[in-house]
Amino acid sequence: MRLALRIWRQDGPQHTGQMVRYDIDGVSEDSSFLEMLDLLNEQLIHKGEEPVAFDSDCREGICGTCGVVINGEAHGPERTTTCQLHMRSFKDGDEIVIEPWRADPFPVIKDLVVDRSSFDRIIQAGGFISANTGSAPDAHATPVRKEDADRAFMAAECIGCGACVAACPNASGMLFMGAKITHLGELPQGQPEREARVVSMTEQHDHEGFGGCTNLGECTRACPKGIPMNVISQMNADLRRAGFGAR
Partner 1 sequence: MALTGLFFLFYLLVHMYGNLMILMGPEAFDEYAHHIRTIGEPMVPEKGVLWVMRIGLLASLVLHVWAAVTLWRRAGQARTNRYVMKRKGYGNFYAKAMRWGGLAILLFVVFHILHLTTHTISIGEPQPTPSQRVVESFSQWWGVLIYVVAMVAVGLHLLHGIWGAAMTLGLNTSLKRAEQIRFVSILVATIIVVGFLIPPFAILLGLVP
Applying CB under 8 A, among 5, 36, 152, 167 the residue interacting with partner 1 is 167
User: Given the rule CB under 8 A, which of 33-41, 57-65, 124-132, 163-171 is the region that contacts partner 1?
Assistant: 163-171
Amino acid letter for position 85: L
Tell whether residue 21 is a contact of partner 1 (CB under 8 A).
no
Stretch that binds partner 1, among 21-29, 37-45, 51-59, 233-241 (CB under 8 A): 233-241
CB 48 to partner 1: min, Å: 27
Q: What's the min distance (Å) between Cβ of 210 and partner 1?
A: 6
CB of 174 to partner 1, least distance (A): 10
DSSP 8-state code for residue 212: -
Q: Which of residues 60-79 bind partner 1 (CB under 8 A)?
A: 69, 71-73
How many residues bind to partner 1 according to rule CB under 8 A?
Answer: 42
Are the beta carbons of 197 and 184 closer than 8 angstroms?
A: yes
Alpha-carbon span 223 to 220, nearest angstrom: 5
Pairing of strands 95-99, 73-74: unpaired
Among 102, 115, 203, 242, binds partner 1 (CB under 8 A): 102
Q: How far is CA 240 from the centre of its chain?
A: 26
Q: Residues 22 to 61: which contact partner 1 by CB under 8 A?
A: none
Q: What long-range pairs does 189-197 form, CB within 8 A, spacing at least 24?
A: 189/129, 189/131, 189/142, 190/129, 192/129, 192/130, 193/126, 193/128, 193/129, 193/130, 194/238, 194/242, 195/238, 195/241, 195/242, 196/126, 196/242, 197/126, 197/127, 197/238
Neighbouring residues of 107: CB distance < 8 A, sequence distance ≥ 6: 13, 114, 115
User: What is the C-alpha end-to-end distance of the chain, expressed in Å?
Assistant: 50
Q: Taking the complex as a whole, how short is the minimal distance between the CB of residue 35 and partner 1, in angstroms?
A: 23
Residue 214 binds partner 1 (CB under 8 A) = yes
CB of 139: closest distance to partner 1 in angstroms? 26
- Of the two residues 37 and 175, which places its CB atom closer to partner 1 in the complex? 175
Cβ-based nearer residue to partner 1, 6 or 59: 6
Q: Report the alpha-carbon distance of residue 5 to residue 24 in Å, rounded.
A: 7
Other beta carbons less than 10 A from residue 114's beta carbon: 24
Count CB atoms within 10 A of the CB of residue 44: 15
DSSP lists the bridge partners of residue 22 as 5
Q: How far is the CB of 183 from partner 1 (least distance, A)?
A: 14
Position among 14, 132, 135, 215 found at the interface with partner 1 (CB under 8 A): 215
The least CB distance from residue 42 to partner 1, in Å, is 25
Residues found near partner 1 in the complex (CB under 8 A): 6, 8, 19, 69, 71-73, 97, 99, 102-105, 151, 167, 169-172, 209-218, 228-230, 232-234, 236-240, 246-247
